[in-house]
Amino acid sequence: MYQDVILDHYKHPHGRGLRDGQAEVHHVNPTCGDEITLRVRLDGSVIGDVSYESQGCSISQASASVLNDLLVGKDVAEAQKIQETFLELMQSRGRIEPDEAMEEVLEDAVAFAGVSKYPARVKCALLSWMAWKDATAKALSGTTPEETA
């Protein structure tokens, strides 16, 4: 489960800290107490920034770092496709062996394939991704009244 890629991201997280954004969400995993506050900034149809503060296990922390790497700079539609692919991998219960096409989409995130065999840990890996999906939907619909800047 603990691939070197995951441990590297855990020890040296990318994009950590809260910065400007149009939407902010706070998600928790009630079974283990992992928490994340995450902001999304959209620059037109591009994910300008994903910033976050979080506490939790190595899997949840590394997953947020990988998310930041993967999604920032992508077009929203493409980012959503990456999120869906990651979700599919994590819900596969270890049955999906990532092929080249999937590696192309998920890059470092394919390292989480092993986590999908552990039902208790899948939620850890998905915490930041579900928060991102939620925050992006909010940013797109403009339901957040004021900018969090």
Partner 1 sequence: MTTDGRVLPGLLDTEAIRKDFPALDRLVHDGRKLVYLDNAATSQKPRQVLDTLNSYYERSNANVHRGVHVLAEEATALYEGARDKVAAFINAPSRDEVIFTKNASESLNLVANMLGWADEPYRVDRETEIVITEMEHHSNIVPWQLLSQRTGATLKWFGLTDDGRLDLSDIEQVITEKTKIVSFVLVSNILGTVNPVEAIVRRAQDVGALVLIDASQAAPHMALDVQALGADFVAFTGHKMLGPTGIGVLWGRQELLEDLPPFLGGGEMIETVSMHSSTYAPAPHKFEAGTPPIAQAIGLGAAVDYLTAIGMDKIAAHEHALTEYALERLHEVPDLRIIGPTTAQDRAAAISFVLGDIHPHDVGQVLDEQGIAVRVGHHCARPVCLRYGIPATTRASFYLYSTPAEVDALAEGLEQVRNFFG
Cβ-based burial of 35 (10 A; exposed 0-12, middle 13-18, buried ≥19): middle
Task: Tell me, by CB under 8 A, how many residues bind partner 1.
Answer: 15
59 binds partner 1 (CB under 8 A): yes
Q: Are strands 34-43 and 46-55 parallel, antiparallel or unpaired?
A: antiparallel
Q: What amino acid is encoded at 103 in this protein?
A: E
121 binds partner 1 (CB under 8 A): yes
Under the phi-then-psi rule, with left for phi > 0, alpha for psi from -120 to 50, and beta for the rest, what region is 16? beta
Residue 18 CB, nearest approach to partner 1 (Å): 19
105 binds partner 1 (CB under 8 A): no
Residue 32 CB, nearest approach to partner 1 (Å): 6
* Span from 38-46, 55-63, 72-80, 103-111 in contact with partner 1 (CB under 8 A): 55-63
Beginning with the edge strand found earlier in the chain, give each strand of the sheet holding 46-55 in spatial order. 23-29, 34-43, 46-55
Residues that bind partner 1 (CB under 8 A): 1-2, 7, 31-34, 55-59, 118, 121, 124
